[in-house]
Structure formats: structure tokens, C-alpha cells
């Protein structure tokens, strides 16, 4: 089966917003043996949308539209579908959809604005697709032999609609022509070193095929297997295992796993707790930990000690240390970790202090310099582990890499991997 995707919106075609929907949808389709042959992005222009629908409906079996289903005047996907499928005929106002919209608004104690009535319009042959996360209902229709599905633009509304309503309604899938994919995630390994470690695994003729991609400083191996579903699944697992072995100890999970969720799983397994003390990351590390549902079972909470006063008042960082070593130093990081561990009564504490830039750097302490410390509650009073990093990138990337590096360091400690195992961007290995 062949598919095409039309993403609709001035902001996308003018380059003010990135279209991540099309890639996500193609990825989902591939997993169901449906090959996307074209992505097409057009403006909020009825004629252009209709033209794209007509052109692509002749080339593919499934046509997916995202965007243009809102209540405003520049939401024209419904009208464009009408123009393409039933030229000249008006759209139909669907009473059941009106009721559903009224319910939505009353649920939040407000009355439905008249403008939203637009969202109850459809071509006479179309059926609505439910949207639990918004007022924009999806639409399913046909043009010739081509199935057409229109979904809202916000990924949070489009993705569940695609999974729950679009995929199930796409004409049946051949189990022996499956195309399955699996992703193995890692953090802290350089791309070229990672490639060397993979060796022949990345051979372009190998089956399953292995490719690597870097995103958000995370290095992932993407494995693609064709053929009979069960066999393809077996092959995926075998290859994933080989990738994980070659990337140890940097690999932390597969597919939906995140660095934060894998750290959470380790903590939950041994029934231990963690706390955080952040300066330059300003709460990002805590945020990443709390991204995981159920993190309350192992995360105590933490401190965002952005000023020296708070570092002293909340975490008992000695004034002498701040005076003689500065806020960005291994000594301060270490003291922050110790203070947080004690105050929170946790098993582990993670502390981050650094210079995120763009301002505030100096020759001795340049932008990107970050110290990360781990303290732990143990009988034999383990030393605090402190590592210096020199992260590259802008303010956002430096803070993101600092928080992720802290999580990976904690993972190493919990897995009894040498906590001094190198991470890229590393500057120094120190214990105090």
C-alpha cells in the first residue's frame, strides 16, 4: 500500500513552524507496511489544499491530512475536502457533532462559541473521527479508491486520533509483508566511536538494517526488519541485543524508554530515592525526573539554588567554599550534593552547577563549564563523585546535556559501572 501526507498551514510552508507530524505518521505507517511516497505542505488556501488532495488521491491508497480543522476562518481543510470530493456541493452541518461540541464546552462550564459550529461541518460522505483532546473532530472520506483522513495539527490531538481511529480504518494489512522497526537509545557515546563499535552491524546490505541518528544529544540505533511479522520481530530483538552489547554501558533502553524512565526503573527496583540540587539547569533535571509518571515513588524533590544565598541557606554550602572556589566549582557541586542528600534524607543526590551562557563566561571558567556531583547514603560513607564537563552548544543545549549527563552518571553508579566511565564533553574526573 502507498500513502501520502498533506500538512496544512501558512506557518509551516512559510518556515515559522516545523512539520514533525508527517515524519511521525510515515514512521507509524511503515510499521504497518504502508509506504509513504510523498509529503506535501501547502498554505491555508482552499484551492491549493483541494488541488493537492486531487493530485495525490490519484497516486496513493491512503491520503492523510493534518491541520486546518480549527474553528477560525483560516481553517479550510473541511472546505477543501468538499471542493475535491463533491465540487459545488455545500458541506453538511452534522447535529451529532454539534451536540458533541456543546458537551465539550459545557464540561468546562462554558458555552460553545458560534464559530465552533464550523467544526461540525463535513462532506456528505464523510464520517467524523473522535478527538478526546480537543474540539477539532477528524474526518474520514474517500475520493475514488483513495481513503482520505483529515486530522488536527497539534501532535497531542493528531497522534491519539491516528492510533485509535485512522490506523484501524485503513484497509487490511498483509502480515507477511510486515516492516518492523526498533530503536536502541544511548547517551554519552560519541557518534564516530559508536559507529566503530557497531562495526559490520551498520553494513547497508545487512538484514535487519541498522542506522544511527542523533537527536537531543541522544544517539539512537534504528533497526528495520522486513518480512513475516513474527520472524521480523525475532530478528529485531537479536540485532537490538547486539547493538546494546556493542554500546554498553551507554545504552539505556529501547523504543519508548527515556534516560529518565530507565533511571526511575533502577531506583524503583532497589527501592531507593533521589533528590536534586540545581543551579544553571534551573529545575530541568527535576522536570526530567518528574516527566515519568510514578516518579513520586523515588523522587523526593529538590532545590533550585540559583543564588549563592539559597545555596548557603538551603543546602548549607559553606561561604568559604563559595568565596575561595566560586559557585561554579567541584567543591560547590560537592557541597550542594551533600547538603541536598542530608536535607532530603534521600539515598542519592544529584547536584549541578555551571555556566550556561551566553553571558557569564571567563577565561578560567568558560561558557559550557559544568560540574556534576553525586552523593549517596551509604554505610561506608562513599566519597562524593564530582565530574567536570565542558559542554558545547547554546544555553539550552548546555543545560539539557548537563541534566542528561547527571542522569547517566547516576545510572552508572546504580549499575556498579565505574562512575568514571567517560562521557563525551568530559573535562575532568575528580573525587573529593
Mapped onto helix, strand or coil, the DSSP state of residue 178 is strand
- Could you identify the residue written with the cell 488521491? 57
Q: Residues for the chain: how many in total?
A: 432
Mapped onto helix, strand or coil, the DSSP state of residue 121 is strand
Selected from 1, 32, 41, 265, the binder of a copy of itself by CB under 8 A is: 41
Mapped onto helix, strand or coil, the DSSP state of residue 171 is coil
Q: Least distance in Å: CB of 432 to a copy of itself?
A: 22
Binding of a copy of itself by 404 (CB under 8 A): no
Mapped onto helix, strand or coil, the DSSP state of residue 289 is helix
Cis status, amide bond into 165, omega within 30 of 0: no
Binding of a copy of itself by 307 (CB under 8 A): yes
Pair 220, 213: CB distance under 8 Å: yes
Cα separation of 108 and 1, whole Å?
A: 42
Q: Least distance in Å: CB of 29 to a copy of itself?
A: 8
Selected from 10, 257, 265, 382, the binder of a copy of itself by CB under 8 A is: 10
Binding of a copy of itself by 309 (CB under 8 A): yes
Binding of a copy of itself by 215 (CB under 8 A): yes
Q: Least distance in Å: CB of 285 to a copy of itself?
A: 7
x/- mask, a copy of itself, residues 376-395, rule CB under 8 A, reads --------------x-xxxx
Contact window for a copy of itself (CB under 8 A) among 140-148, 238-246, 278-286, 405-413: 278-286
Binding of a copy of itself by 317 (CB under 8 A): no
Number of residues that bind a copy of itself (CB under 8 A): 116
x/- mask, a copy of itself, residues 45-64, rule CB under 8 A, reads x--x---x--x---------
Selected from 83, 235, 244, 278, the binder of a copy of itself by CB under 8 A is: 278
Q: Least distance in Å: CB of 172 to a copy of itself?
A: 21
179: burial class by Cβ within 10 Å (0-12, 13-18, 19+)? middle
Selected from 147, 261, 262, 295, the binder of a copy of itself by CB under 8 A is: 295
Binding of a copy of itself by 125 (CB under 8 A): no
Binding of a copy of itself by 40 (CB under 8 A): yes
Long-range contacts of 200-204 (CB under 8 A, 24+ apart): 201/239, 201/242, 201/243, 201/246
Binding of a copy of itself by 174 (CB under 8 A): no
Distances (CA, A) of 346 to 128, 180, 267, 311, 338: 51, 42, 11, 18, 11
Q: Least distance in Å: CB of 17 to a copy of itself?
A: 7
Selected from 357, 371, 409, 430, the binder of a copy of itself by CB under 8 A is: 357
Q: Least distance in Å: CB of 125 to a copy of itself?
A: 26
Task: Choose between 300 and 387: whose C-beta lies nearer to a copy of itself.
Answer: 300
- Could you identify the residue written with the cell 573525587? 431
Print burial letters for 372-392: b (CB count within 10 Å at least 16), e (below 16).
bbbbbeeeeeeebbbbbbebe
Binding of a copy of itself by 399 (CB under 8 A): yes
Task: Choose between 145 and 203: whose C-beta lies nearer to a copy of itself.
Answer: 203
Binding of a copy of itself by 397 (CB under 8 A): yes
Cα separation of 363 and 365, whole Å?
A: 6
Task: Choose between 99 and 115: whose C-beta lies nearer to a copy of itself.
Answer: 115
Distances (CA, A) of 302 to 264, 284, 326, 345: 16, 11, 21, 11
Task: Choose between 55 and 365: whose C-beta lies nearer to a copy of itself.
Answer: 55
Cα separation of 366 and 251, whole Å?
A: 30
Amino acid at each position: 500500500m502507498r500513502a501520502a501526507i498533506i500538512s496544512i498551514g501558512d506557518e509551516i510552508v512559510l518556515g515559522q513552524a516545523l512539520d514533525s507530524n508527517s515524519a511521525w505518521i510515515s514512521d507509524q505507517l511503515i510499521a504497518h507496511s504502508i509506504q509513504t511516497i510523498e509529503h506535501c505542505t501547502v498554505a491555508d488556501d482552499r484551492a491549493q489544499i483541494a488541488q493537492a488532495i486531487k493530485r495525490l488521491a490519484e497516486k496513493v491508497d491512503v491520503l492523510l491530512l493534518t491541520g486546518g480543522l480549527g474553528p477560525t476562518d483560516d481553517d479550510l481543510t473541511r472546505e477543501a475536502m468538499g471542493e475535491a470530493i463533491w465540487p459545488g456541493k455545500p458541506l453538511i452541518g452534522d447535529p451529532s457533532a454539534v451536540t458533541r461540541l456543546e458537551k465539550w464546552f459545557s464540561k468546562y462550564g462554558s458555552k460553545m462559541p458560534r464559530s465552533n459550529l464550523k467544526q461540525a461541518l463535513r462532506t456528505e460522505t464523510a464520517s467524523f473521527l473522535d478527538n478526546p483532546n480537543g474540539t477539532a473532530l477528524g474526518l474520514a472520506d474517500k475520493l475514488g479508491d483513495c481513503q482520505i483522513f483529515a486530522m488536527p495539527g497539534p501532535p497531542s490531538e493528531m497522534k491519539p486520533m491516528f492510533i485509535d481511529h485512522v490506523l484501524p480504518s485503513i484497509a487490511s494489512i498483509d502480515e507477511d509483508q510486515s516492516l518492523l522497526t526498533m530503536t536502541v537509545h544511548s547517551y554519552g557515546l560519541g557518534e564516530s566511536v559508536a559507529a566503530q563499535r557497531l562495526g559490520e552491524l551498520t553494513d547497508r546490505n545487512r538484514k535487519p538494517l541498522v542506522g544511527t541518528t542523533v537527536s537531543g544529544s541522544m544517539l539512537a540505533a534504528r533497526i528495520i526488519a522486513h518480512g513475516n511479522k513474527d520472524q521480523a520481530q525475532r530478528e529485531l530483538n537479536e540485532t537490538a541485543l547486539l547493538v546494546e552489547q556493542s554500546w554498553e554501558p551507554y545504552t539505556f533502553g529501547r523504543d519508548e524508554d527515556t534516560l529518565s524512565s530507565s533511571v526511575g526503573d533502577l531506583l524503583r527496583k532497589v527501592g531507593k530515592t533521589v533528590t536534586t540540587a540545581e543551579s544553571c539547569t534551573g529545575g530541568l533535571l527535576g522536570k526530567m525526573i518528574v516527566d515519568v509518571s510514578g516518579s513520586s515513588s523515588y523522587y523526593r524533590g529538590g532545590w533550585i539554588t540559583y543564588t549563592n544565598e539559597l545555596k548557603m541557606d538551603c543546602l548549607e554550602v559553606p561561604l568559604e567554599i563559595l568565596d575561595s572556589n566560586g559557585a561554579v566549582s567541584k567543591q560547590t557541586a560537592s557541597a550542594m550534593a551533600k547538603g541536598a542528600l542530608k536535607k532530603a534524607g534521600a539515598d542519592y543526590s544529584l547536584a549541578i552547577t555551571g555556566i550556561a551562557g551566553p553571558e557569564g563566561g571567563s577565561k578560567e571558567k568558560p561558557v559550557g563549564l559544568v560540574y556534576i556531583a553525586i552523593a549517596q547514603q551509604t554505610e561506608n560513607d562513599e566519597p562524593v563523585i564530582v565530574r567536570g564537563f565542558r559542554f558545547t552548544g547554546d544555553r539550552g543545549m548546555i543545560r539539557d546535556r548537563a541534566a542528561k549527563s547527571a542522569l547517566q552518571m547516576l545510572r552508572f553508579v546504580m549499575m556498579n559501572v565505574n562512575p568514571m566511565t567517560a562521557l563525551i564533553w568530559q573535562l575532568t574526573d575528580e573525587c573529593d
